Amino acid sequence: MGRTQIPDAHWRVMWQIIRNSPRIWKSDEARERAFVEQIGWAVRTGVPWAEIPTRLGRALRRRFERWQRHGVWAALFEASIPSAPAEGTVMVDSTTLKAHRVASGARGSRGDPAAQMLGRSRGGLCTKLHAVTDAAGRFLALCLSPGQAGDAPRFLPLLCEALGRCQGVRAALADRAYSSRQNRAGCKALGIEAVIPPRANEKEQAAYDRETYKLRHAIENAFAPLKDAKRIALRCDKKAAVFLGTIHLVACLHNLRTTARIGGLEELLNFGHRP
């Protein structure tokens, strides 16, 4: 099986979402599977749509954007999220994604770089991806921001989004960039232990569970397969929504692969497990 081919067990989870999605053509399961695998190939290799032979590239791009507008990629990502996080632990972090020069200049009123989640940091034009994962490295929530945006203000919104999809969360891990009294108080209000080391310049050095904090490597490792896809590691999409659709697809495939490895893929076949 090729690297961009979807295993049968994974496809069964994806197909139950696709066939129930409104306003998209889905009468031929084999053709739908081929389309998703073609998109996966284009995302992984990073090939420009215009470089794909004949008119296939233009057709793929238009259909991919149509599915994004109808929320199909987001629905596939949500279907891959487990009902309970591994070890009852979630972790929040971000990673910077370098933007190609063609990513700027979206047409119309949406051309504002900040509106398309483009900003400038020390590395130049970039986008920041914020994520929540569990201890197994499965993505639970994702969002984008301009590259220069801070991390701490997005901790609680992302955490609440993950809690809306999962049950049994006991602890939330994050690095020093998320250390603030507001974030710790928010975790306390949610009944969750905040495992966040304090900054060296903070007056009150809050205590945290150092052993539990060692699990935080899982989210760092989870970013690696996302960045294996060249269209994510080097953003070429002008529209933030389209770029996020690409991330949703790759995150869905990563979640399914991880769940199949640790067990529990059968649970995802019943999407009604959501709390």
DSSP 199-222: PTT-SS-----HHHHGGGHHHHHH
Determine, yes or no, domain membership for 173: yes
Q: Whole-model pTM? A: 0.92
CATH number of residue 203's parent domain = 3.30.420
Count of structural domains, the chain = 1
- pLDDT at 50 (0 to 100): 77
- pLDDT at 272 (0 to 100): 42
- pLDDT at 112 (0 to 100): 72
Determine, yes or no, domain membership for 58: no
- Which has the closest alpha carbon to 114: 142, 155, 144? 144
Determine, yes or no, domain membership for 62: no
Residue 215, domain extent: 86-235
pLDDT along the chain (275 residues), means of 10: 79 92 84 91 87 72 92 95 92 94 73 82 89 96 93 95 93 94 94 93 88 93 94 92 96 94 76 44
Determine, yes or no, domain membership for 78: no
Determine, yes or no, domain membership for 219: yes
Distance between CA 47 and CA 144 in Å, rounded? Answer: 23
Distance between CA 6 and CA 10 in Å, rounded? Answer: 6
